[in-house]
Amino acid sequence: MERIAIIDLGSNSIRFIIMQVAGSGAYKLIYQEKKAIRLSEGMTKDDRMLTEAAQRRALDCLKVYAHAARVLHVTKILAVATAAVRNSRNGASFLKRVRTATGIPMTIISGREEARLGFSGVIHTIDQSDFLLFDLGGASVEISLVRNKRRLHSVSIPMGAVTLTELFDSRDAVSAEKKADIQRYIRKQLAAVSWLPKEKIPVIGIGGTVRNLAKIHQRRIQYPLPKLHNYQFPAKSLFPLVDELCRKNCAERKRISGLSSERADIIIAGALVVSELVRMTGAEDLTISGCGIREGLFFHYYDPLYGKERDWEHRMLLSSVRNYRKTLPLDDLSHTRYVTAMADYLFDHWQSLHGLTERDRLLLTAAGLLHDIGGLINYYSHARHSAYMIANAHLFGLTHKEQLICSLIAAFHHGYSGKLLKTSSHLSLIDEADLLRVRKLSLFLAIAEGLDETKEQCITRLICHTSPRTAELRVYTNQDAFDVQAHALQPFLRPFEKTFGRSLDIQWFPGSRQASIFKKEEPDLPR
């Protein structure tokens, strides 16, 4: 087992995480911390020197992180410094002080390398192919154009939330004239980048500014999930919010729910950079990435050792589900794969019944592989516990709504529960059409679970037929008795007829000698 500490020394904050990697390659976050130290504060354009006060703030914080790394048995430290150190004349001497005082080996990375690491953190965790990516820090913004999951162009512009705030003195409320001056300056910097797209393209943002803007929006709409990664922030809500921030002074901004008080003085400059990038692209939404340089550093280390097959690139969700399962002390993987394979089979062979998409099949597969994890909490109500764990797991390749749908499919793998729905705090994210999808998909999972009620994996083959009034399921089993499975399926006959408009006729064929077609190492997923 390895424990890798990752430190990102930025212009505004120091971020520190520890990732644990098991011998199987399963990884998980076990610790994280952040401290605003304003390293670039007071570093003027003329002298470009890190001030002694800023260096001392950073050193004090890094000493704490070095101690945490020791007591948490970290085996490797990956540490980088970005724009503030990169652009300063005394950056190299400062890093020598860091090494002497803390023992942390820290490297200054270029703007291009910073963009590459940010891209790596996003492309491993958000399943989009074409987008404009930006990482807004305290002293710079890195922008990348991504096509077909490949980074075509990158640029680092020395224009960050801290440096712009100092340049335009925007800590308090800004007048319409000053706001226009800041916007003109930002547009001029962006206009110098020839490859920025002129057509509409999705935008993904990294950094404290976008996270804070998204938190404000989530609080105002009473968003039911405590999740920022892959959050879709509507542009029509972003622009008025930025205008509002410009009108408020720093003390008033500190009272805004969702806005960190330590960022209140620099949020205007950062927010104007974000709004100009979104406006320029014509994007309808800003996607928030909670993963950036730190995760990019981790995957840069992890992939050559454990991720050589690059499953995350083509099958992000399956790769993420597989990794998450490996971090849990579970011993029922054979049963889970078997049940999921049968559920997928029912989906594939009853296409005319459900009329759902391949994306829905993907959600069924993910829910199937995780449907029993709630047993780690308690066997009683384990389906409900599974739903909670899935809804809150760090899974990649899903929108927030899709993750909730997966959790509900798992919640109902012993039968649909209107009572559970009424107590759910997440219903505002899903509509009646989504609930119908859940009913259909959870029925396939419930039937598959019932077919392996004894966990003997004795079903060798299924044959599905449909007629105008009936759905026929022929079940071939290598056992002579099937009364346990037949009893387990009885509660789903009426819900099946109500959902699909056909009665379910189950026919049993015991004593089958052929090998089961469902004993797969991994369920199939579309690329």
Contact 441, 360 (CB under 8 A): yes
Task: Report the distance separating Cα 245 and Cα 241, nearest Å.
Answer: 6
Contact 106, 79 (CB under 8 A): yes
Specify the pLDDT at position 415: 81
Task: Report the distance separating Cα 136 and Cα 295, nearest Å.
Answer: 16
Task: Report the distance separating Cα 518 and Cα 362, nearest Å.
Answer: 17
Q: What is the mean pLDDT of residues 176-205?
A: 95
Specify the pLDDT at position 333: 87
Specify the pLDDT at position 422: 64
Task: Report the distance separating Cα 90 and Cα 111, nearest Å.
Answer: 18
Contact 244, 275 (CB under 8 A): no
For residue 254, give the amino acid letter: K
Contact 476, 512 (CB under 8 A): yes
Q: Which residues pair with 504 in a beta bridge?
A: 471
Predicted confidence band of residue 521 (pLDDT cuts 50, 70, 90): low
For residue 86, give the amino acid letter: R
Q: pTM here?
A: 0.92
Condensed to tens digits (0 to 9), the pLDDT of residues 412-470 reads 998 877 666 666 777 788 899 999 999 999 999 999 999 999 999 999 999 999 999 99
Task: Report the distance separating Cα 41 and Cα 108, nearest Å.
Answer: 18
Mean pLDDT of the chain: 93
Instruction: Say which DSSP state 519 is in.
Output: -
Task: Report the distance separating Cα 210 and Cα 199, nearest Å.
Answer: 22
Specify the pLDDT at position 419: 66
Instruction: List the single range of 60-69, 353-362, 416-425 with lowest mean pLDDT.
Output: 416-425
Q: Give the count of beta carbons closer than 10 Å to the beta carbon of residue 42.
A: 15
Written as six digits, the tokens of 284 are: 């309808």
Contact 150, 133 (CB under 8 A): no
Task: Report the distance separating Cα 371 and Cα 449, nearest Å.
Answer: 10
End-to-end CA gap in the chain: 31
Q: Give the count of beta carbons closer than 10 Å to the beta carbon of residue 293.
A: 28
Specify the pLDDT at position 526: 41
Q: 521: number of CA atoms within 13 Å, CB side?
A: 0
Rg (alpha carbons) of the chain, rounded to whole number: 26
Query: Can you say how many angstroms the Cα of residue 401 is from the centroid of all Cα atoms in its chain?
Result: 12
Q: Which residues pair with 285 in a beta bridge?
A: 234
